[in-house]
Amino acid sequence: MNNVFFKNGFLTSTEAQNICNVANEVIAGLTDSLNTVQFYNTTITSIVSSDNAVNAGKGTTDTSWIQDAIIKIGQYNSLIAWLKEAIKNKEEALGELSSTCIQDWSEYKDYPTPKSPSKKATVTKDDVIKNLDAIKLNKYFTLQSRAAAIGKFIHETGSVSRAKVMLNKVIAEPNKISGAGRDTVVYRYTPSVEVAEVNGMFLSLMSEHRNLNAQLNNIKADAIEEANKQNIANEQEYQKARTAYSKEYNDWLDKIEDLQSRFNQYIITEKEKISKLKINVPDSLMETYKSIKALLAE
């Protein structure tokens, strides 16, 4: 709001509007007179009888009032513009107050909304494993790599497993005949290594594979246990934070309720102050104002 309109003011908005209304009436009258002014007389004469001249229009014989009227219109418009802008300032200020919400009030910043706690992300087995120290993490990768290498070859589709199966087949069928007559070819198969040795080696690999997987499973089980432990601790921490937040939030609501009451009172008080503001008239327009004021007194 521009206080220049209200310093040492003495007019209410209603009084200012009445001044504007009277000024507009005066301007309308002066404008009508100016719009009909003419500087010549009109006479109508019959061609048949020039002695019967009729005065059809009379021009003004005094021009001194014209300049005064135009100057007065300009002065009255100046006063109207000033008073209208002052009234507009009050109305806009009242409108701004009506549209102001408590969040816009300067005191509201002293009561920040409590921040709701957020849950930590769920800890997984893999999260725990990747955060192991260097020695334990290296052991995990080593066990995983060795178990994978053994598993690749002893699996039923693995080359060592298939070679063991073929050994048992050639022992059961050491000879194989292909073709007929003179084209007959006999294939004889003989073990290149003892079956017991192959079986022993294979059993040893299977045992090592089980052992490696058992160690891996222990690490994974420990990781799952640790993940569960961390998740429980995080949940307990979250619930504790939620309880504290609920109390803080309820306390905040009580404060905001009190603040809202004070805010409502503030708006009422400010509106009352603005409504009571009186509009001034600049010195340059005071004579114009007095002349219109005199018309109101008539």
Q: What is the pLDDT of residue 52?
A: 64
Q: Where are the domains of the chain?
A: 3-114+256-297, 125-247
Give the N- to C-terminal CA distance of the chain in Å, as an integer. Answer: 35
Tens-digit pLDDT profile for residues 194-209:
999 999 999 999 999 9
Write down the pTM of the prediction.
Answer: 0.59
Name every residue whose Cβ is closer than 8 Å to that of residue 155 and which is 6 or more positions away in sequence: 161
Tens-digit pLDDT profile for residues 247-276:
999 999 999 999 999 999 999 999 999 999
Half-sphere exposure of 73 toward its Cβ, with a 13 Å CA cutoff? 13
Q: Percentage of the chain with pLDDT > 90?
A: 78
| Closest of 13, 179, 32 to residue 91, by C-alpha | 13
Give the rounded distance of the alpha carbon of 42 from its chain centre: 76
Run of H or E including 57: strand 54-57
Check pLDDT > 70 for residue 73: yes
Evaluate the CA torsion angle 85, 87, 88, 90 in order and state its sign. positive
Tens-digit pLDDT profile for residues 19-63:
999 999 999 999 998 888 887 777 777 666 656 666 655 667 778
| Cα R_g (the chain), whole angstroms | 54
CB-based contact 165:157 (threshold 8 Å): no
Q: Which two tokens stand for residue 24?
A: 């507009």
State the CB neighbour count (10 A cutoff) for residue 160: 16
Name every residue whose Cβ is closer than 8 Å to that of residue 69 and which is 6 or more positions away in sequence: 30, 33, 34
Q: Which two tokens stand for residue 85?
A: 């802008």
Q: What is the pLDDT of residue 181?
A: 83
Q: What is the pLDDT of residue 42?
A: 76
Tens-digit pLDDT profile for residues 174-199:
888 888 888 888 889 898 999 999 99
Check pLDDT > 60 for residue 127: yes
State the CB neighbour count (10 A cutoff) for residue 88: 13
Determine the Cα–Cα distance for residues 208 and 242; give it in Å rounded to an integer.
50
Q: What is the pLDDT of residue 62?
A: 75
Look at the block and give the residue holding tokens 């060795």.
146
| Closest of 208, 214, 190, 194 to residue 154, by C-alpha | 208
